[in-house]
Structure 1
Amino acid sequence: MVEYKTIKVQEREDGISIITFNRPNRLNAINFQFVEDLQDYLNTLENNLGIRVVILTGEGRAFCSGLDLKDGQVIFKKNVPEGLQKFEYLQNKDKIKRAVIVQKLISQLMITLRRIPQPVIAAIKGAAYGGGLTFAMAADIRIAGESAKFCNAFINIGLSGADCGSSYWLPRLIGFSRAAEFMYTGRVFNAQEADKIGFVSKVVPDDKVLYEALKIAKHILTKSPMGIRFTKDALNINVDASSLESATKLENRTQVICINADDALEGVFATLEKRESKYDKW
């Protein structure tokens, strides 16, 4: 297992991977090394058959406070600090070109979280601001601690309120009007409001957030590995389905594949025999 500088990864024997954002002194803010580390690990998951569920969480008192503005300002400086010279895109003399690459690299993390086949659970304590909010939105399931607070913070620092997929996910998760309010105003909403508007699945005490995420992850592990992967595929594709008919055509094809796999036989016999299913890892 690679030792990363800004994230901690625990790949458990049961098939759950816990990714912990590990810059607690900066409230787990996103810097260049963070982007490289997280993308590198996520890339390993796309064809990893042993890892079946992923949990995202943050070390310390925050989930992720968004872009590290201290490091981010390097994009607009002529001279790159020595510790950052290994990032070749920062060497470009044109600040616009540097910004384009950085923007693409950060937003690609959100796309990759949706592309990996494992369901992603966000276990959130403290601030989930800016990019931290979009990490939460990129997850399939969100569990909030009582201290959790959310902010579409991009609009508060002179940028567009639409960033890293926020204009795509937020209206789909909470409706257009509420999404527009948060994106235009940058207003902070707490865990209780997030629960009320359906942004999170549940709110629990902070010390129970990871426990609750693991509880859900273990429940998912009791299901067919193939069935779970095809379910995420269907959710990703059919959230933008042009019609009910096109959505059901995709579902029909995946069900025919699943029906003819050994998992379906095991699931049926386990139900008839009133026992727990015993699926192969893949």
Structure 2
Amino acid sequence: MEFVLVDRPRPEIALVTLNRPERMNAMAFDVMVPLREELERISNDNSVRAVVLTGAGTGFCSGADQQSAGRIPHTEGLTRATIALRSMEILDQVVNTLRSMHQPVISAINGAAIGGGLCLSLATDIRVASTEAYFRAAGINNGLTASELGLSYLLPRAIGTSRASEIMLTGRDVGAEEAERIGLVSRLTPPGDLLETCFAMGEAIAGFSRPGIELTKRTLWSGMDAGSLGRHMNQEGLGQLLIRLLTGNFEEATAARKEGRAPVFRD
């Protein structure tokens, strides 16, 4: 069985589906290793302009698989402690790969996003949820910390420190409507409209200039890491200047607006 499916529902959009519905797409290594590999491959596929990530069945991703973690590659002869370190590294790589992909990634959150599944969604650029979705920072419920896979870094930046602290320290569920209200997701849809909404969003992104989209993604993420506003503004300005000087996109957008047509970006 293939645990990660890749489809092309639109010419410039890749749909990546976690395909272990009987376990609510839990983060077994049999799922996460091929997910990382497929994301790396798609990132270098220049025919793809936007990526949609979702889960098969009724869940997006239920986090760590507590029954069957799957096979961890390249661990022969290692001790338990080192295997644990390698395991963490694999999962960290999935989160970092989502952030560093050339294309924006839209998560289509169709159901439960629990623990590591919440982290996966936070590593995507845009989050769209079904009205049946819900979220939980589950580590605290399992006698662990709620901090994993960047959650204590990403969640406060998405919804603010106080809300993130309350959600992580109580381990409670956040329903879809609350998730939209607090900014955890940008949009809610009925379950049957979720993927089409994400595909339409991806098509809109694909209509803009490639370097403009790629640099916007980079500066959005780097802004979260910036040590100072001045340093980040300098990086933003350099990116804007690069596109302004090396492409004809600005002139095309100006001409299209005057002529009452959609711009065609060729650079």
Give the TM-score normalised by structure 1.
0.89
Q: Contact 2:244/2:250 (CA < 8 Å) preserved in 1?
A: yes
CA distance in 1 between counterparts of 2:50 and 2:21 reads 24
Q: Contact 1:27/1:65 (CA < 8 Å) preserved in 2?
A: yes
| Aligned twin of 2:107 | 122
1:80-229 matches, within 5 Å, as: 84=71, 87-89=73-75, 91-229=76-214
| Aligned twin of 2:3 | 6
Q: Contact 1:5/1:33 (CA < 8 Å) preserved in 2?
A: no
Q: Does 1:279 align with 2:262?
A: no
Q: Contact 2:12/2:203 (CA < 8 Å) preserved in 1?
A: no
Q: Does 1:60 align with 2:46?
A: no
Per the TM alignment, residue 263 of structure 1 is displaced from its structure 2 partner at its CA by 2.7
| Aligned twin of 1:265 | 251
| Aligned twin of 1:69 | 66
Q: Contact 2:10/2:199 (CA < 8 Å) preserved in 1?
A: no
Q: Contact 1:5/1:37 (CA < 8 Å) preserved in 2?
A: no
AA aligned to 2:33 is E
Provide the alpha-carbon RMSD of the alignment: 1.7
Q: Contact 1:92/1:98 (CA < 8 Å) preserved in 2?
A: no
CA distance in 1 between counterparts of 2:9 and 2:198 reads 14
| Aligned twin of 1:78 | none
Q: Secondary structure at the match of 1:70?
A: coil
AA aligned to 1:57 is T
Number of aligned positions between the proteins: 266
Q: Secondary structure at the match of 2:58?
A: coil
Q: Does 1:31 align with 2:31?
A: no
CA distance in 1 between counterparts of 2:111 and 2:32 reads 21
Per the TM alignment, residue 70 of structure 1 is displaced from its structure 2 partner at its CA by 1.2
Q: Summarize the Cα distance change of 1:123–1:13 in structure 2 as closer, same or farther, 3 Å threshold.
A: closer
Q: Contact 1:42/1:112 (CA < 8 Å) preserved in 2?
A: yes
Q: Does 1:232 align with 2:229?
A: no
Per the TM alignment, residue 93 of structure 1 is displaced from its structure 2 partner at its CA by 4.7
Per the TM alignment, residue 248 of structure 1 is displaced from its structure 2 partner at its CA by 1.7
Q: Contact 2:129/2:187 (CA < 8 Å) preserved in 1?
A: yes
Q: Contact 1:145/1:203 (CA < 8 Å) preserved in 2?
A: yes
Percent identity between the two aligned chains: 36
Match of 2:226 among 235, 238, 241: 241
Q: Contact 1:18/1:54 (CA < 8 Å) preserved in 2?
A: yes
Q: Contact 1:127/1:148 (CA < 8 Å) preserved in 2?
A: yes
Q: Secondary structure at the match of 1:155?
A: helix
Per the TM alignment, residue 223 of structure 1 is displaced from its structure 2 partner at its CA by 1.1
1:43-54 matches, within 5 Å, as: 43-54=40-51
CA distance in 1 between counterparts of 2:154 and 2:89 reads 17
Q: Summarize the Cα distance change of 1:158–1:92 in structure 2 as closer, same or farther, 3 Å threshold.
A: farther
| Aligned twin of 1:18 | 15
CA distance in 2 between counterparts of 1:32 and 1:238 reads 31
Per the TM alignment, residue 40 of structure 1 is displaced from its structure 2 partner at its CA by 0.7
Give the TM-score normalised by structure 2.
0.94
Q: Secondary structure at the match of 1:236?
A: helix
CA distance in 2 between counterparts of 1:247 and 1:93 reads 42
